[in-house]
Copies of this chain bind each other. A is one copy, B any other.
Amino acid sequence: MVNIMVSRRPGSSLYEQVAADIRTKINSGEYAPGSRLPAENYLAGQYDVGRDTIRDAMGDLRKEGLIVSRRGYPSTVRKLPERELVKLPKGAHLVARMPTPDECHEHNVPFDGVPVLLVGDRIYAADRYEFVAE
């Protein structure tokens, strides 16, 4: 079976088209949370593109936090985490940004797709907490 949903002609690049297609499959549930994606080499064959193009697409999906990749194992759809509710005391300030590599290591934040929230001197991984003003 050949996948012809990507085209070399139009406005959008190949890897963006591939990313959009996989994104749709994730959001539709065809690729369920926690399940494995096909191997990059397999996808390269399916879409009839180079593996590098698949890797660029996967890179975008990682940056969005949609998938998680690690060496030696197929990429998986990120599981929706349980979020702990944090109460913001009156006057508390909050800013969000992407973590540094040091902060990822320090606070066990995944390398890709997960912002951090700074509240006072505390730091929270955005995928494990939500906040409510009180």
Known contacts A94-B94, A126-B95: does B133 contact A64 (CB below 8 Å)? Answer: no
Q: Give the residues in chain B near A134, CB-CB below 8 Å.
A: 90-91, 133
CA distance A98 to B83 in the complex (A): 16
Binds B, one of A30-38, A41-49, A110-118: A110-118
Tell me the smallest distance from the CB of A100 to a CB of chain B, in Å: 6
Number of copies: 2
10 closest A-B pairs (Cβ-Cβ)? A115-B115, A88-B133, A133-B133, A96-B126, A94-B131, A96-B96, A95-B130, A92-B133, A65-B98, A96-B115
Contacts A59-B59, A115-B115 given; indicate if A97 touches B127 (C-beta within 8 A). Answer: yes
Interface size on A, residues (CB 8 A): 36
Residue of B nearest to A113 (CB): B98
Instruction: Give chain B nearest CB distance to A45 CB in angstroms.
Output: 23
